[in-house]
């Protein structure tokens, strides 16, 4: 019994790493552009399809297509900003939500129209088996996804804190007007934020393609987990994101085990509402 | 009181005449057209006028983006199906019970979440719909994902009619009722408060309006009215399962869309929007149904929403007003 509980906590930790990467992409766009990307989950879905077709057509393992997915999504994110978001941020907030929400609908159903609604799974990937560590079992795909998520998170953190570009992005997120007065071009920052945020979700998509079903609406629930993490850390911040992600992952997997499988998402919703009500600033003070 | 109403009518004579004209045409349409498909299109348009008007109260007037209205429609549909199939109680009673239940749910969900602003509220309601969908798919009392079949026994007490004409009149009455309610709210103190909140909620708060209270009012009334559309849905489709209401927020989106197309925060908006969008959708769905893969209509919906959000956020009513001004030759006054 208790070993089952530990098993579910460990699975939660693995899930949590993945959620953190999803949330980080979301938070970068949210923080810098001050715009919620409701299509974030659909971006992940697109990346999963890219990884899927890379694997089935060109025989490239999803792990190897990570750079391809990240690059493709970077370009896609920039394109979405240039074509759509740039105009939306000048308009009313209501229309920003509708615009990105419309993008989510359009992407999901464009994929459905083109490739059909059936569930796809990749077989014969490099990391398709299960592995036993100290008596607990993990999917290799999940483990490698968690590990690489952490690596990418590390890289993103290094980028944000130790490069000129990253510092400029953070400055712009902190105080856009002040950043502009010291010569940081907001327009450029917005473009990069969309690109980098989308690239993060692109990496997640390639990692998820290893072990998860691929279908047009796959993104929605993951976007939701991303939002909950963002709410936990405080909107638009990235500090503490990993703790938030792990918490959400553990709550999800243990409540499914302790109470019943159907409570998994309900519990997270309850946590989400509770956080928003009790701690609208997030769990961690400061930026 | 009567004098006031007469004065109102005199001032807006054209409008009153037009309304009477549209209503009388609506009443005789089923006698003129004997194509059931066209009657069904009218019926769905009416249902969406009801849903759109209800959503407009919270999304249009108050400016709070609720993406959970599919849940309230489902409450209506499930209430009438459960009353009739499980307990043999006439679905007409659902017109009283469903709004109460939906109103309570609307209140319960909005009371905590409406303290949140903007995106957070939109996200929470979106996820709320998703969660309810997941729960309903597992809940045996409502027959989970199997859904409730309503046996086809046409009679007045079962609210099942042999032709769409019966439903047509029920929904027409509903449209008149709901639009009248919205019209009254639009002109009441509550409507003014809601519009003030949409304009600038901080300023509204400073003027002594309890912003949170009125937002919750709007959401509760909106939820209650939405459930009415669900009752007709259930009794017409004769089959209730969670997917049409909540699957990937499709219905909530469609409800919002008809209002955006028509014009947010206007009585006429949902009517114009539904009259344009619903026939287009039903026709395109019928003619594209030979296509093996679904999703076309929703792809088109998504694109329309993006384009509207980017280029035409004020909807048909705005275009209509501009034309009206031009016809009257008014040059003064800026575009609304």
Band of residue B292 on the pLDDT scale cut at 50, 70, 90? very low
Residues above pLDDT 70, as percent of chain B:
91
Band of residue A235 on the pLDDT scale cut at 50, 70, 90? low
Reported as a single tens digit per residue, the pLDDT across A96-123 is 888 888 898 889 889 988 888 888 888 8
Instruction: List B residues 231-270 in contact with A (Cβ-Cβ < 8 A).
Output: 248, 250, 253, 256, 260, 264
Inspect the interface and report whether the beta carbons of A94 and B313 lie closer than 8 Å: yes
Does residue A281 lie in a domain region? no
Position B291 pLDDT exceeds 60: no
Four-point Cα dihedral A100, B309, B113, B207, nearest 10: 150
Reported as a single tens digit per residue, the pLDDT across A172-219 is 888 878 888 888 888 888 898 899 999 999 999 999 888 888 888 888
Position B315 pLDDT exceeds 60: yes
Residue B138 near chain A (CB below 8 Å): yes
Q: Take residue B77 and report the two structure tokens written for it.
A: 């549909």
Instruction: Flag the least confident range among A265-269, B87-91, B115-119, B148-152.
Output: B115-119
Query: Rounded to whole angstroms, how far apart are CA atoms B95 and B133?
Result: 23
Which of helix, strand or coil describes residue B114? coil
Q: Which residue has the higher pLDDT, B151 or B232?
A: B232
Question: What is the span of the domain harbouring residue A202?
Answer: 11-116+132-226
Band of residue B104 on the pLDDT scale cut at 50, 70, 90? very high
Q: Which residue has the higher pLDDT, A85 or B332?
A: A85
pLDDT at A201: 92
pLDDT at A94: 77
Nearest residue in chain B measured CA to CA from A265: B131
**Mean pLDDT in residue range B15-39:** 81
Instruction: List Cβ<8 Å contacts ≥24 apart for A186-191.
Output: A189/A32, A190/A32, A190/A33, A190/A81, A190/A85, A190/A86, A190/A89, A191/A78, A191/A81, A191/A82
Does residue A247 lie in a domain region? no
First CA to last CA distance, chain B: 31
Does residue A16 lie in a domain region? yes
pLDDT at A236: 61
pLDDT at B297: 73
Inspect the interface and report whether the beta carbons of B306 and A99 lie closer than 8 Å: yes
Q: Is the C-alpha dihedral spanning B207, B212, B215, B216 positive or negative?
A: negative
Q: Take residue A182 and report the two structure tokens written for it.
A: 């010291």
Q: Take residue A212 and report the two structure tokens written for it.
A: 């998860």
Band of residue B50 on the pLDDT scale cut at 50, 70, 90? very high
pLDDT at A198: 93
Predicted structure pTM score: 0.81
CA distance B5 to chain A (A): 36
pLDDT at B253: 81
pLDDT at B66: 87
Residue B301 near chain A (CB below 8 Å): yes
Instruction: List B residues 264-283 in contact with A (Cβ-Cβ < 8 A).
Output: 264
Band of residue B335 on the pLDDT scale cut at 50, 70, 90? very low
Q: How many residues does chain B have?
A: 336
Query: Rounded to whole angstroms, how far apart are CA atoms A198 and A223?
Result: 12
Which of helix, strand or coil describes residue B333? coil
Residue B310 near chain A (CB below 8 Å): yes
Band of residue B336 on the pLDDT scale cut at 50, 70, 90? very low
- Alpha carbon of residue B101 to chain centroid: 17
Q: How many domains does chain A have?
A: 1
| Residue the block writes with tokens 């997120």 | A173
Q: Take residue B210 and report the two structure tokens written for it.
A: 């309890």
Task: Say which residues have a Cβ less than 8 Å from residue A156's Cβ, sequence separation at least 6.
Answer: A24, A28, A196, A200, A238
Residue A160 near chain B (CB below 8 Å): no
pLDDT at B159: 81
**Mean pLDDT in residue range A222-249:** 80
pLDDT at A227: 83
> Other CB atoms closer than 10 Å to residue B96's CB: what's the count?
9
Query: Rounded to whole angstroms, how far apart are CA atoms B35 and B236?
Result: 17
**Please, what's the largest Cα pairwise distance for chain B?**
63
Inspect the interface and report whether the beta carbons of B306 and A116 lie closer than 8 Å: no
Position B238 pLDDT exceeds 70: yes
pLDDT at B288: 66
pLDDT at A283: 60
Provide the b/e sequence for B132-148 (b: ≥16 CB within 10 Å). bbbbbbeeeebbeeebb
Residue A110 near chain B (CB below 8 Å): yes
Position B298 pLDDT exceeds 90: no
Provide the b/e sequence for A72-91 (b: ≥16 CB within 10 Å). bbbebbbebbeebbbbbbee
Position B116 pLDDT exceeds 80: no
Query: Rounded to whole angstroms, how far apart are CA atoms A95 and A102?
Result: 10
Instruction: Flag the least confident range among B25-39, B70-84, B175-189.
Output: B25-39
**Mean pLDDT in residue range B37-56:** 91
Look at residues B85, B83, B128, B90 and name the one whose alpha carbon lies nearest to residue B223. B128
Reported as a single tens digit per residue, the pLDDT across B128-148 is 888 888 888 888 887 777 888
Band of residue A69 on the pLDDT scale cut at 50, 70, 90? very high
Break chain B into its structural domains and give their ranges: 50-248
Q: Which of B116, B298, B311 sits opposite A105 (nearest CB)?
A: B298
**Mean pLDDT in residue range A271-277:** 76
Q: Which residue has the higher pLDDT, A108 or A236?
A: A108
Range of B28-32, B124-128, B181-185, B293-297 with top mean pLDDT = B181-185
- ipTM score: 0.81
Inspect the interface and report whether the beta carbons of B293 and A93 lie closer than 8 Å: no
- Alpha carbon of residue A132 to chain centroid: 27
Position B125 pLDDT exceeds 80: yes
pLDDT at A284: 60
Instruction: Flag the least confident range among B8-22, B160-174, B185-199, B226-240.
Output: B8-22
Instruction: Flag the least confident range among A110-114, B67-71, B163-167.
Output: B163-167
Reported as a single tens digit per residue, the pLDDT across B179-228 is 999 999 988 888 888 888 888 878 888 888 888 888 899 999 999 999 99
* Chain A residues inside the 8 Å CB shell of B130: 220-221, 224, 265
Summary mean pLDDT of chain A:
84
Band of residue B1 on the pLDDT scale cut at 50, 70, 90? low
Q: Which residue has the higher pLDDT, B273 or B250?
A: B273
Q: Take residue A270 and report the two structure tokens written for it.
A: 């309850």
């Amino acid at each position: 019994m208790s070993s089952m509980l530990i098993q579910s906590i460990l699975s939660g930790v693995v899930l949590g790493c993945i959620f953190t990467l999803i949330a980080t992409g979301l938070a970068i766009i949210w923080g810098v552009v001050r715009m919620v990307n409701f299509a974030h989950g659909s971006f992940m879905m697109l990346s999963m399809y890219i990884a899927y077709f890379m694997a089935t057509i060109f025989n490239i393992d999803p792990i190897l297509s990570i750079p391809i997915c990240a690059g493709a999504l970077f370009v896609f994110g920039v394109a979405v900003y240039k074509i759509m978001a740039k105009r939306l941020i000048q308009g009313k907030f209501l229309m920003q939500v509708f615009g990105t929400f419309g993008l989510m609908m359009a992407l999901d159903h464009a994929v459905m129209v083109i490739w059909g609604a059936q569930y796809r799974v990749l077989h014969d990937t490099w990391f398709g088996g299960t592995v036993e560590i100290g008596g607990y079992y993990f999917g290799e795909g999940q483990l490698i996804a968690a590990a690489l998520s952490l690596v990418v998170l590390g890289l993103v953190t290094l980028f944000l804190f130790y490069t000129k570009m990253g510092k400029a992005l953070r400055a712009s997120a902190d105080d856009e007007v002040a950043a502009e007065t010291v010569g940081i071009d907001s327009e450029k920052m917005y473009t990069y934020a969309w690109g980098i945020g989308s690239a993060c979700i692109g990496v997640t998509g390639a990692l998820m393609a290893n072990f998860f079903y691929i279908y047009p609406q796959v993104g929605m629930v993951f976007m939701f987990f991303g939002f909950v993490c963002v709410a936990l850390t405080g909107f638009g911040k990235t500090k503490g994101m990993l703790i938030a992600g792990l918490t959400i992952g553990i709550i999800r997997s243990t409540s499914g085990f302790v109470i019943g499988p159907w409570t998994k998402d309900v519990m997270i919703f309850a946590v989400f509402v509770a956080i928003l009500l009790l701690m609208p600033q997030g769990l961690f003070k400061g930026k | 009181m009567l004098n006031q109403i007469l004065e109102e009518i005199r001032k807006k004579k054209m409008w009153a005449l037009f309304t009477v004209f549209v209503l009388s045409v609506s009443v005789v349409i089923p006698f003129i057209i004997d194509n059931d498909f066209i009657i069904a299109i009218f019926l769905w348009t009416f249902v969406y006028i009801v849903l759109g008007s209800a959503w407009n109260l919270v999304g249009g007037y108050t400016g709070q983006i609720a993406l959970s209205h599919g849940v309230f429609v489902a409450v209506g549909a499930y209430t009438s199906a459960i009353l009739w199939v499980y307990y043999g109680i006439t679905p007409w009673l659902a017109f009283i019970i469903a709004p109460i239940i939906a109103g309570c749910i609307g209140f319960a969900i909005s009371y905590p979440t409406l303290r949140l602003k903007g995106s957070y509220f939109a996200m929470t309601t979106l996820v709320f719909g998703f969660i309810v969908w997941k729960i309903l798919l597992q809940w045996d009392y409502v027959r989970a994902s199997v859904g409730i079949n309503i046996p086809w026994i046409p009679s007045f007490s079962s609210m099942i009619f042999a032709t769409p004409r019966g439903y047509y009149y029920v929904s027409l009455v509903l449209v008149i009722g709901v639009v009248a309610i919205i019209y009254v709210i639009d002109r009441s103190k509550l409507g003014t408060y809601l519009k003030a909140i949409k304009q600038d909620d901080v300023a509204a708060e400073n003027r002594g309006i309890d912003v949170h209270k009125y937002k919750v009012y709007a959401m509760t009334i909106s939820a209650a009215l939405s459930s009415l559309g669900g009752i007709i849905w259930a009794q017409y489709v004769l089959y209730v399962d969670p997917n049409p209401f909540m699957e990937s927020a499709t219905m909530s989106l469609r409800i919002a869309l008809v209002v955006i197309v028509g014009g947010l925060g206007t009585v006429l908006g949902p009517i114009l929007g539904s009259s344009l969008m619903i026939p287009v959708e039903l026709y395109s769905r019928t003619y594209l149904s030979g296509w093996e893969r679904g999703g076309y209509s929703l792809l088109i919906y998504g694109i329309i929403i993006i384009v509207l959000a980017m280029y035409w956020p004020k909807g048909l009513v705005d275009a209509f007003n501009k034309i009206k001004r031009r016809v009257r030759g008014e040059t003064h006054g800026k575009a609304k």
